[in-house]
Structure 1
Amino acid sequence: MSEASGVMRTLIQRIGRTKELDGPAETVDGWVKKATRTKSVKNALSGSWLGHQLHPMLTDLPIGAWGAAVALDLTGGEESAAAARRLVGLGILASAPTALSGASDWSDTIGADKRVGLIHAASNATASVLQASSWLARRRGHRGAGIVLSILGLGLTLCSAYLGGHLSFVRGIGVNHTAFQGATRKWTDVAADSDIAEGSLTRVLVASVPVLLTRQYGRLHAISAVCSHAGGPLDEGTLDADGCVTCPWHGSRFLLEDGTVERGPASVPQPLWEVSVDEGRISVRAT
């Protein structure tokens, strides 16, 4: 481990252990949950319509715009001043939906991850304020001050991006929790047909892969029992009358028919399994 990564790891661990952040985090979390309580808003911000989380894709926009502005400032001379100011402004505009989608994802975290995420958000908010100040300074003819503010803002954004990368790639926030599950095309006997009652949620194993087996309106369905969003146990969730199963952890809803996301925060569909009944025994295989 390099010295730099060791320092960052220690810093992140300290942030994660700072329970004094729980009060502010709870307050902000309440605001976010209130703003995202409707299905349309939650799905839009979670990326349920996109097939993966929206926030990581949006982060490229403000970082790219602000990075390009600084590059023009340092290499383009006075003739690039107007273009640099426009890029700063575009980055500010792009930061709003980026922050909203990130807040929606953050609200479904807990403990140390929530504390680190709060500092990540606060750092990004401060960086946006610096960039807004830079835009105003440039507009008023104070280009030198604007350049300094942009450099400071970009530096803070990159530090915050490190925290975001830690949450995604080290802690697995937003990672598809079914991505590395095995899948077998061989029919596997998992239960007696008489054991699966109407409306029940039963967890079975297929070559060590947890599968949710349920019967609704007389029809058998099988999807992965591990919620793609955060690994929640769908067999401990609820079976809804509209043909959906709801995760007990964060409320993601999936259609039993094809595993698609009906409501976020999940953005990746559940793997679907085929079901067959022969001589009173239920067998399943991956689709």
Structure 2
Amino acid sequence: MTDDWRQAKRPVSAVLAGPYGHPFHPILVTVPIGAWLASVVFDIGSHLVDDPGFLARGAQWLIAIGVLGALAAATVGFLDLFAIPTGTPAFRIGLVHMSLNLAVTVAFALDFWWRAAGTDPDAAVAGGPLALSLAAVVVLAVSGYLGGKLAYHYGVRVADERTQATGFRR
């Protein structure tokens, strides 16, 4: 095992980023991903029900929860990025992953502001905010793929194979 590979598996700070082999970032990303996907479902649903304002307001709350959750996930993810040696393919993918996630977070923050600034609270979600949410979710899916590649292909912050093998001994 190379020193670069070992470095990418160890946290910069176990207290802040999670202990060896059990990073906090993957569990924290479930909050914004779930909130934003649910907000899109609520957006679409607001066009299908008799009381669209209820779902439209729910979607706006979910967007806010997602933005706050993304800030927490980004903080810990940034620490994980510091564990990856610079100049490596894993580091480059980490930078793209981070950049896409920041763009998605900004898009949803703008989406929240757009909804708050100019929409009828009792109407279905307007086409512009809905389109922005859908575009942001597509970018989020690409970024999620890259995050999965970091963990499952390159093993960033994943325990080494010797440690993993202990779970299969009888």
Gaps of 5+ in 1: 1-35, 186-287
Secondary structure of 1:118 counterpart: helix
Q: Which residue does 2:110 correspond to in 1?
A: 133
More helix by share: 2
Aligned-pair CA distance for 1:181: 5.2
- The normalised TM-score by structure 1 is 0.47
Q: Which residue does 2:14 correspond to in 1?
A: 43
Residue number among 76, 82, 85 corresponding to 2:57 in the alignment: 82
Q: d(CA) in 2 for partners of 1:62 and 1:73?
A: 16
Decide whether aligned partners of structure 1 residues 90 and 182 sit closer, same or farther in structure 2, where only a CA change above 3 A counts.
Answer: closer
Q: d(CA) in 1 for partners of 2:150 and 2:75?
A: 17
Superimposed CA distance per residue, residues 102-129 of structure 1 (whole angstroms, 9 cap, x where no aligned partner): 1111111121100010000000000001
Match of 1:126, as an amino acid?
A
- The normalised TM-score by structure 2 is 0.78
Greater relative contact order structure (CA < 8 Å, 6+ sep): 2
Superimposed CA distance per residue, residues 148-200 of structure 1 (whole angstroms, 9 cap, x where no aligned partner): 21111111111100000011111111111121259989xxxxxxxxxxxxxxx
Q: Which residue does 1:159 correspond to in 2?
A: 142
Q: Which residue does 2:79 correspond to in 1?
A: 104
Aligned identity (percent) is 31
Aligned-pair CA distance for 1:52: 1.3
Gaps of 5+ in 2: 1-10, 120-124
Bigger radius of gyration: 1
Superimposed CA distance per residue, residues 43-65 of structure 1 (whole angstroms, 9 cap, x where no aligned partner): 333212x9711000011000000
More strand by share: 1
Q: d(CA) in 1 for partners of 2:157 and 2:61?
A: 32
Match of 1:59, as an amino acid?
V
Aligned length: 145
Q: d(CA) in 2 for partners of 1:152 and 1:82?
A: 20
